[in-house]
Structure 1
């Protein structure tokens, strides 16, 4: 599993996870967890939140197909980028390739391919209940009146508003 020598004692969960995930990523996408983990630094603050590396396509060499040794050739990194920021990222390709190759320590990437797609998970819209009025509001105020902590009282009022609001208009 790991090329690290066996050691006794505790291991970090990230070491175990990386040892399990890296072979799958390498086979399917040609990348490793170290690249994914360092992406924020590599992409810089301008593109860290709107882009992510997806895969590296390594060229097939004719000598490889013939069964010979053959030299190394850099690959093409596919990067997912959100919307119009992809245009700005394309203008920074040269610098980005340089940063990626510095990260690897050798010229691993010769070209960047940018695809426009959502990168961050869609934000969930929080449902906010309608404020209680009349009898229901007074009842809720009476229930939380003895609570001393302001944060706890506010949380209980939010919960009470949601619960009493769902009971329909009978308590409003």
Structure 2
């Protein structure tokens, strides 16, 4: 009858942050992390990069007995995406309501804003000694799976590059 600790297990960073952000996001904007993650699937890949759901405006109910009324989804988008969004509003509403499992949203309100796109940061790997490269090729040559072989080869090359540049002091001998 006493307190029992939960069984501990490892969870990914995405699971942990989603668990922390979801209640805050729901309270401030009415959105959920799942909606944000599935936005490109719901709205379409071609305009997902230039649109973002900002908030869901739920109508106020004066009492518990009042009937449920669907909400308004506020979407921020760039100018050229607004036209596409208005033409596909009914289809997008159907997808969003299918996502929720009930008629949750009956209207989309468009707000024009600038959507900042994430840039992929690429870094240049320091050169690796030719002997180290040959060693990694010999070690990974026995792996049948090409994807795994390439990933392990890249990992080994980056470890040797770090070792020779001295960025990570733990690798220095």
TM-score, with length taken from structure 1: 0.62
Between structures 1 and 2, the one with greater helix share = 2
2:12 aligns to what?
Answer: 12
* Residues 121 and 45 of structure 1, relative CA distance in 2, 3 Å threshold: closer
Determine helix, strand or coil for the equivalent of 1:84. Answer: helix
* Count of matched residue positions in the alignment of Structure 1 and Structure 2: 117
Structure of higher CA gyration radius: 1
How far has the Cα of 1:116 moved from its partner?
1.1
Distance in structure 1 (CA, Å) of the matches to 2:66 and 2:7 = 37
How far has the Cα of 1:122 moved from its partner?
8.4
- Whether 1:98 aligns to 2:126 is no
2:106 aligns to what?
Answer: 110
* RMSD, matched Cα: 2.0
1:44 aligns to what?
Answer: 44
* Residues 84 and 13 of structure 1, relative CA distance in 2, 3 Å threshold: same
CA offsets 1:128-166 (integer angstroms, 9 cap, x no match): xxxxxxxxxxxxxxxxxxx989xxxxxxxxxxxxxxxxx
1:166 aligns to what?
Answer: none
1:75 aligns to what?
Answer: 71
Unaligned runs of 5+ in 1: 1-5, 124-146, 150-172
Q: 8 Å contact 2:77–2:114 — kept in the other structure? A: yes
TM-score, with length taken from structure 2: 0.62
How far has the Cα of 1:14 moved from its partner?
1.6
Unaligned runs of 5+ in 2: 1-5, 120-128, 134-173
Distance in structure 2 (CA, Å) of the matches to 1:34 and 1:43 = 14
CA offsets 1:103-145 (integer angstroms, 9 cap, x no match): 111111010001111112487xxxxxxxxxxxxxxxxxxxxxx
* Residues 122 and 16 of structure 1, relative CA distance in 2, 3 Å threshold: closer
1:152 aligns to what?
Answer: none
Determine helix, strand or coil for the equivalent of 2:54. Answer: strand
Determine helix, strand or coil for the equivalent of 1:47. Answer: helix
